[in-house]
């Protein structure tokens, strides 16, 4: 069952006949677009005519340019689900320009910004100008959706203009746009009716015959508030003492609103008043829906009459099929309805039944919950589970489950299992098993009675529930580090699956693959995840099939297959882009794929490209990353900063990574604290690194274990560094013994990536002992294995000790191509490797500039401002100032122009 797009949310409101024209505002809006500004913001409290002025502007713009495309989305709270928002965004843009090849389905699986990238690329290639209006933007509170709009603003093609209507200022970079001359603003002060507009509205549109004095008083009392004027006009229609009423008219907007609505409602015939109250529960109104809710007929005729009488009903389409009430008017109606008979609960039930009959399950659930009919809501949620999970509307499903009482969930095994899944997603591992056990008991009770004793209707989800339970138990075992338990439950799930249950087989095979991976059997792990990928594709779950790229690539790296890992990521990102275009939304793993490819590029020493992929990943927002992989972005950026010679920035990023870390399904192979220890070792902070090793209980006599291999290799680095600092303490022998045992285990497991790193460390250990000849042998083996795969940073991160070894290797003629490529990658002044030579100061500087300082210097020579340079380099202003001080000190200058002149004189630019 699909979750369709509600077409009425995409209708452009029509301009009312005889409406007050507002040319001063319309020209201001036109000017903003003519000047190429990115954003039009109409921000004012409710009732100030934000939607009306935008709809008049759109109508006028269409008259001026018949080729103009318009995409309009009327937002509501449900659009805080990123997948739902993306679906409506794609549908609206497709309607604005049918020639755009964006795919038809809104709300398909995916994260945020890959879809936006595809949309932006398509819009940039199109010659059709489009205005995109997001109405009622104050309803958007979810950070991922706000970040999506911010990304759209940052990368907006010239053919697109964005307009927002909101009751409050949006959490977007409005100040930056304002400062850059990219914002057209319209606020309450602009929207208030002038006395002339108030007179035209009251006397021409509302049919009153007020004097200029009465108009001026009423306009002053309402401060040009359009809703207040409209409500006052409705109350004035049948009053004899008009001037007396106006002269006594006072109070704040809230109390005036309450008073005037009372006046309006009391003057309506009973059938009209009853219709208004009963249908106020609806966000959208059409004749059939209103008839279902009220139990009457003639809903379409009543809506048309309400529109004619200006009773706060606005058409949503040109055919007058769908309407909505003014938001404030609906709020007051709902408040009065609470004490009426029938009350709102039965009306919500009628609405839920109508939405279910029309296959609008999301709205049916919403009204069932509003009716406090949790039994009905639970049944509807069960019906919607397959579609919601396939379309990855996870936020919607979690929100629904949170609103259901625990007893209802316990009686329904399907919901009980997904309630357990919600705990797993939230990281509450301890809550999972009790919920699974309760669901299993309910399921067993029905089987003993020969039928469904529980309330769940027979369904495919119910039939495959034992497989799902076993899979989630395997997940719990994995989270606890119980490899035997993970294998047991995964095998049980696999045994329970039927031939056509591709999703179940894929999940079970995945956990068996994770178990193989965690024990270091990478060959078996790669094969298992190949089976997972195939099963998920057969199940039609392409988004999850793409997510298997991440663990597969991690295992390929362990095997030393850097180029295969790169190919996996590039192919996956290509498929993600195709899915974004074909299905209207990107796969949810897109951000994680960008991070993974960044890690490969960093190892190849392509730092600019690595950073660009991290920037693309960050722009996608939180929704583009799984909970367990979000921390990897910060780790990857930390490793780039470390490569650029910024260890403190790297440590700060690793601290942020620690805050984002969530234990998940994948083995924890490179603990964040061990990565921080490696940075400390590089800084010479050996005491802190030693304290880390002690705290982790590490010893050079430990038996090798794959899950602790990274930590043991870090310990080996520490022992070598301690030997360099004090050769008399005997650390080198410990390091070599540890490395020998690790090498034997890695070779047995065919983990050639680990083998290469171990051999490099053996070479560094022998070199630290002054035994260069013995060091060159493992170095040669490491170089010959690493060179075809493109490894660079593995070697370069070792700094001067490696540079010295490379000079010796060059002199001995060992692996000349690999040695030369690594030599070329070492920046001048930081251990450059001409054979037999030594590094000399560059450009006459006593202390050479680091790679990052050279990047900053090049940008200092440009016209970019300080904040622009910081954004270009993805660093803070404080970090930029620190780099600038270092550059000035090394160049012996005290200003930016002087630094540029000095650098040019020295040939550094």
Q: How far is CA 492 from the centre of its chain?
A: 35
* Domain 270-374 CATH (choose: 3.90.1530, 1.10.10, 3.40.50, 3.40.390): 1.10.10
Report pLDDT digits (tens) over 572-602: 988 888 877 776 666 778 889 999 999 999 9
Predicted local confidence at residue 729, as pLDDT: 83
Which residues neighbour 726 within 8 Å (Cβ) at sequence distance 6 or greater?
none
SS3 string of 449-482?
Answer: CCCCCCCCCCCHHHHCHHHHHHHHHHHHHHHCCC
Paired tokens of 447: 């089987």
Helices 327-337 and 344-357: angle between axes, nearest 10 degrees:
120
Percent of the chain having pLDDT more than 90? Answer: 38
Q: How far is CA 837 from the centre of its chain?
A: 50
Report pLDDT digits (tens) over 457-501: 556 677 788 988 998 898 888 878 788 998 999 899 889 988 888
H or E segment to which residue 286 belongs: strand 285-286
Closest to 218 (Cα-Cα) out of 230, 466, 715 = 230
Comma-separated ranges of CATH 1.25.40.10 domains in the chain: 405-562, 619-635+648-825
CATH of domain 7-191: 3.40.50.300
CATH 1.25.40.10 is the classification of domain 619-635+648-825: yes
For 262-300, letters b (16+ CB in 10 Å) and e give: ebbbeebeeebbebbbbbbbbbbbbbebbbbbbeeeebb
CATH 1.10.510.10 is the classification of domain 405-562: no
Predicted local confidence at residue 751, as pLDDT: 94
Predicted local confidence at residue 266, as pLDDT: 76
Task: Check if the beta carbon of residue 593 is closer than 8 Å to that of residue 629.
Answer: no
Q: How far is CA 573 from the centre of its chain?
A: 16
Helices 502-518 and 465-479: angle between axes, nearest 10 degrees:
20
731: exposed, middle or buried (Cβ count in 10 Å: 0-12, 13-18, 19+): buried
Paired tokens of 53: 């002025």
β-bridge pairing 160-166 and 69-74 = unpaired
For 243-259, letters b (16+ CB in 10 Å) and e give: eebbeebeeebeebbee
Report pLDDT digits (tens) over 171-216: 888 888 888 889 999 987 788 888 888 888 888 877 787 888 888 8
Predicted local confidence at residue 355, as pLDDT: 92
Q: How far is CA 669 from the centre of its chain?
A: 25
β-bridge pairing 160-166 and 183-187 = unpaired
Name the phi and psi angles at 41, rounded to 5. -115, 120
How many Å apart are CA 816 and CA 824, to the nearest integer? 12
Q: How far is CA 233 from the centre of its chain?
A: 47
Q: How far is CA 795 from the centre of its chain?
A: 34
694: exposed, middle or buried (Cβ count in 10 Å: 0-12, 13-18, 19+): exposed
β-bridge pairing 285-286 and 322-325 = antiparallel
Name the phi and psi angles at 316, rounded to 5. -105, -5
Which residues neighbour 773 within 8 Å (Cβ) at sequence distance 6 or greater?
none
How many Å apart are CA 604 and CA 418, to the nearest integer? 42
Around 285, how many Cα atoms within 13 Å sit in the side-chain half-sphere?
31
Neighbours of 605 (CB within 10 A): 19
- Averages of pLDDT over runs of 10 residues in the chain (909 residues) are 71 81 92 92 83 93 93 92 88 89 49 76 89 94 90 91 89 86 88 87 81 82 74 71 66 49 74 92 93 94 82 77 79 79 88 92 91 91 76 73 86 86 76 87 65 53 84 85 88 88 85 89 93 86 85 94 94 84 71 93 92 85 69 93 90 90 79 95 93 95 93 96 88 94 95 96 94 93 94 92 91 90 76 37 65 84 83 73 84 84 82
Comma-separated ranges of CATH 3.40.50.300 domains in the chain: 7-191
β-bridge pairing 160-166 and 39-43 = parallel
Helices 502-518 and 522-538: angle between axes, nearest 10 degrees:
160
Predicted local confidence at residue 456, as pLDDT: 55
Predicted local confidence at residue 711, as pLDDT: 97
Predicted local confidence at residue 104, as pLDDT: 34
How many Å apart are CA 115 and CA 362, to the nearest integer? 23
Paired tokens of 519: 């024990």
Instruction: Report the chain's mean pLDDT, rounded to a whole number.
Output: 84
Strand order in the sheet with 183-187: 69-74, 130-135, 160-166, 39-43, 183-187
CATH of domain 851-905: 1.10.10.10
Does residue 117 have a cis bond before it (omega within 30 degrees)?
no
521 three-state secondary structure? coil
pTM over 0.85: no
């Amino acid at each position: 069952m699909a979750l369709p797009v509600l077409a009425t949310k995409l209708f452009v409101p029509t301009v009312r006949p005889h409406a007050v024209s507002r040319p001063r505002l319309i020209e201001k809006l036109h000017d903003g677009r003519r000047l190429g500004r990115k954003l039009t913001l109409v921000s004012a409290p409710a009732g100030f005519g934000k939607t009306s002025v935008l709809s008049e502007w759109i109508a006028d713009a269409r008259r001026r340019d018949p080729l103009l495309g318009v995409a309009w989305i009327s937002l509501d709270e449900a659009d805080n689900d990123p997948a739902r928002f993306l679906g409506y965004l794609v549908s609206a843009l497709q309607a604005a320009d049918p020639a755009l090849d964006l795919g038809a389905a809104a709300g398909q699986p995916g994260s945020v910004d890959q879809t936006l990238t595809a949309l932006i690329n398509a819009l940039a290639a199109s010659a059709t100008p489009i205005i995109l209006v997001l109405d009622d933007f104050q309803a958007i509170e979810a950070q991922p959706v706000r970040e999506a709009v911010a990304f759209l603003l940052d990368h907006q093609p010239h053919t697109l203009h964005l307009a927002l209507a909101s009751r409050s200022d949006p959490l977007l970079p409005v100040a930056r746009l304002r400062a850059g001359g990219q914002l057209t603003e319209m606020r309450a002060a602009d929207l208030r009716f002038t006395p002339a507009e108030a007179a035209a509205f009251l006397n021409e549109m509302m049919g009153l015959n007020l004097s200029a004095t009465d108009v001026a008083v009423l306009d002053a009392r309402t401060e040009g508030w359009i809703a207040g004027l409209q409500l006052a006009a409705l109350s004035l229609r049948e009053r004899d003492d008009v001037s007396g009423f106006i002269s006594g008219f006072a109070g704040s907007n809230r109390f005036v609103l309450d008073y005037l609505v009372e006046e309006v409602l009391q003057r309506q015939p009973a059938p009209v008043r009853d219709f208004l109250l009963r249908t106020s529960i609806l966000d959208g109104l059409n004749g059939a829906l209103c008839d279902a809710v009220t139990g009457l007929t003639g809903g379409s005729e009543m809506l048309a009459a309400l529109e004619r009488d200006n009773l706060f009903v606005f058409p949503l389409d040109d055919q007058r099929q769908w309407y909505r009430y003014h938001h404030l008017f609906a709020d007051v109606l709902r408040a009065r309805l609470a004490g009426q008979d029938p009350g709102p609960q039965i009306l919500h039930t009628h609405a839920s039944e109508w939405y279910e009959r029309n296959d609008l399950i999301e709205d049916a659930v919403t009204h069932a919950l509003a009716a406090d009919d949790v039994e009905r809501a639970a049944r509807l949620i069960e019906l919607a589970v397959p579609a919601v999970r396939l379309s990855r509307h996870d936020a919607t499903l979690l929100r629904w489950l949170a609103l259901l009482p625990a007893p209802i969930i316990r009686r329904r095994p399907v919901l009980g299992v997904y309630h357990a899944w919600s705990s797993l997603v939230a990281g509450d591992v301890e809550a999972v098993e009790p919920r699974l056990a309760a669901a299993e008991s309910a399921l067993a009770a029905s089987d003993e009675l020969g039928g469904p004793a529980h309330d769940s209707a027979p369904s495919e989800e119910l039939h495959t529930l034992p497989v799902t339970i076993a899979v989630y138990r395997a997940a719990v075992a994995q989270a606890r580090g119980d490899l035997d338990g993970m294998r047991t439950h995964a095998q049980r799930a696999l045994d329970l699956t039927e031939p056509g249950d591709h999703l179940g087989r894929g999940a079970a095979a995945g956990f068996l693959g994770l178990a193989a991976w965690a024990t270091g059997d990478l060959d078996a792990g790669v094969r298992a995840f190949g089976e997972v990928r195939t099963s998920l594709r057969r199940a039609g779950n392409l988004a999850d099939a793409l997510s298997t790229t991440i663990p597969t690539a991690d295992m390929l790296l362990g095997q030393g297959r850097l180029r295969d890992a790169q190919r996996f990521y590039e192919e996956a990102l290509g498929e993600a882009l195709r899915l974004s275009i074909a299905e209207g939304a990107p796969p949810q793993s897109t951000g994680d794929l960008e991070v993974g490819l960044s890690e490969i590029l960093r190892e190849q020493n392509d730092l600019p490209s690595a950073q660009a992929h991290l920037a693309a990943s960050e722009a996608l927002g939180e929704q583009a990353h799984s909970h367990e992989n979000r921390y990897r972005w910060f780790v990857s950026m930390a490793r780039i900063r470390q490569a650029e010679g910024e260890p403190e920035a790297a440590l700060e990023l690793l601290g942020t990574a620690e805050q984002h870390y969530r234990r998940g399904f994948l083995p924890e192979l490179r603990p964040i604290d061990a990565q921080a220890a490696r940075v400390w070792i590089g800084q010479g902070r050996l005491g802190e690194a030693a304290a880390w090793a002690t705290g982790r209980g590490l010893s050079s006599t430990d038996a090798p274990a794959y899950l602790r291999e990274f930590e043991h290799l870090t310990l080996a680095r520490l022992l070598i560094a301690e030997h360099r600092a004090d050769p008399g303490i005997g650390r080198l022998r410990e390091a070599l013994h540890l490395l020998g045992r690790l090498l034997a285990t890695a070779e047995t497991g065919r983990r050639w990536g680990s083998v290469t790193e171990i051999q490099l460390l053996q070479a560094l250990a022998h070199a630290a002992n002054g035994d260069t000849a013995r060091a060159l042998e493992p170095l040669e083996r490491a170089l010959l294995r690493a060179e075809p795969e493109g490894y660079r940073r593995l070697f370069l991160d070792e700094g001067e000790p490696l540079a010295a070894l490379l000079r010796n290797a060059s002199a001995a003629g060992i692996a000349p191509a690999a040695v030369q490529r690594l030599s070329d990658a070492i920046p001048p002044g930081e251990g450059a490797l001409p054979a037999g030579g030594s590094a000399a100061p560059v450009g006459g500087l006593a202390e050479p500039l680091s790679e990052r300082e050279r990047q900053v210097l090049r940008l200092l020579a440009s016209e970019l401002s300080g904040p622009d340079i910081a954004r270009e380099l993805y660093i803070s202003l404080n970090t930029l100032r620190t780099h600038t001080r270092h550059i000035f000190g090394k160049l012996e200058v005290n200003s930016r122009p002087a630094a540029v002149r000095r650098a040019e004189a020295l040939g550094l630019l």
